[in-house]
Amino acid sequence: MQPGLALFYGAIAGISVALIVLLVVRERYRSQLIELNLERSKTDAILESVEDGLIVLDRSGAIVHINEVACAILELERAQVSKLDLRTLGLSNRHVARLVAARAISADDQGAPAEFRVFVRGRDHSYLSRELPWTGPGGESLGTILALQDVTYIRDQERQRTNLIATLSHELKTPLTSLAIGSELLIETPNPSNESARQREILEIIHNDIDRLRAIADNLLDASRTETPRIGVERRAIMLDAVVRDVCQGFALQAREKRVEIEVTGGEQPLPIWGDPIKLPWVVTNLVGNALRYTPVNGQITIAMQRENTFARVTVSDTGPGVDPAVMPRIFEPYTQFGDDSARMGSAGLGLHIAKEIVEAHSGRIYARSEPGHGASFAVEIPLREEPLG
């Protein structure tokens, strides 16, 4: 073979090999591109299926992706916002401007979730903006993901609760004031010859309970004026066992009239705690009062006091009909009724809810156990006072 032909055939072979390599590389690239598009489609589908608004920002703050929910919240058109940053969009969009302002306040508040309100679908809506890191396979930062969570229902419930607390406290104050004046006049009136010491004791119990209720009503009214109303407590050095005995003494007359036995057990060891001298007695009063309300004639109520590890426990048990299992999961929710008897007995379904708030404000917990036909048991646990309050 001539040297020229050999070179020619060699060049043809080299070109063929190069073409084959190119074809293989192209197929691999095409396969990888299909896989990338498939993964991107999956990611887009996940982002669009989320109920919250989602905005993906790169490291410069430019929008990489925004789902339809976020577009609806911020009144944006997806095609017009790609690669734009939120600050720029906020110059011409009031909803985005509120988001940007809320994020700025959140940054000053050590990264707390930013909350903002916008008018969407015919009414004001409240949203929480939570920031999540967007990282690459190696852990490197690629940007930030903003999740916009609709908390409108939660805020509506909080406002209704605030209004309820304000209304209840206001409506309670007027009759309690009248009762307080009447009880003071009766106590200050010289004892007639036919007035027994027992009647005098009952008057003093009524007067003390009225003062306690007035203090709680004032506190509820103060709580309703705050942005996030919660029941506040005043922590003083008190003895929980003494509180329980005092409360039970106040129910002795009612229990005798109903022929219900109240038995107090335990308490051999003192139960020192940091507690509110007004609100904690109210909690025990509510639990014992509920037990007396539902315990039938010739029944029994047991109040057990116990010291265990670092907390004090008070358990109020009765021999009443028990609580319906369907009611137990929401026993401490507001307006929860135990059945038709609750309405006839004057229960609004708020006592246990308020008791739970008071106990939790003492860093404690309250829980219930019941078996239909075998009574109910409510337990309160409060941390023991081991060291001076600092």
According to the model, what pLDDT value does residue 2 have?
A: 57
Name the token pair of 76. 């944006």
- The DSSP letter of residue 226 is S
Residues 248 and 201 in one domain: no
Residues 182 and 323 in one domain: no
- Nearest-angstrom CA–CA distance, 390 and 388: 6
Note whether residue 5 is domain-resident. no
According to the model, what pLDDT value does residue 335 have?
A: 67
- Where does a domain end: 118, 150, 182? 150
Residues 143 and 157 in one domain: no
Note whether residue 1 is domain-resident. no
Residues 77 and 165 in one domain: no
Residues 370 and 250 in one domain: yes
- Nearest-angstrom CA–CA distance, 98 and 47: 23
Note whether residue 24 is domain-resident. no
Note whether residue 14 is domain-resident. no
- Where does a domain end: 230, 259, 284? 230
Note whether residue 29 is domain-resident. no
Residues 122 and 196 in one domain: no
Residues 250 and 378 in one domain: yes
Q: Return the closest-CA partner of residue 103 out of 92, 95, 94, 115.
A: 115
According to the model, what pLDDT value does residue 13 have?
A: 64
Note whether residue 19 is domain-resident. no
For residue 337, the SS3 value is: coil
Contact between 330 and 356 under an 8 Å Cβ cutoff? The reply is no
Q: List 272's β-bridge partners, or say none.
A: 239
- Nearest-angstrom CA–CA distance, 144 and 60: 10
Range of the domain at 194: 151-230
Residues 198 and 262 in one domain: no
CATH code (residue 177):
1.10.287
Tokens 């909803």 correspond to 95
Q: Is the dihedral of CA 20, 22, 26, 29 positive or negative?
A: positive
According to the model, what pLDDT value does residue 346 have?
A: 44
According to the model, what pLDDT value does residue 139 have?
A: 81
pTM for this model (two decimals): 0.52
Number of separate domains in the chain: 3
- Where does a domain end: 150, 183, 206? 150
- Nearest-angstrom CA–CA distance, 383 and 310: 6
Residues 288 and 342 in one domain: yes
Residues 156 and 65 in one domain: no
Note whether residue 18 is domain-resident. no
Q: Which residues of the chain have pLDDT under 50?
A: 227-228, 340, 342-346, 388-390
- Largest interatomic CA distance in the chain: 148
CATH code (residue 341):
3.30.565.10
Residues 336 and 376 in one domain: yes
pLDDT single digits (tens) 167-223: 666 667 656 666 776 667 666 666 655 556 667 777 777 777 777 777 767 666 665
According to the model, what pLDDT value does residue 132 have?
A: 86
Note whether residue 15 is domain-resident. no
Residues 219 and 257 in one domain: no
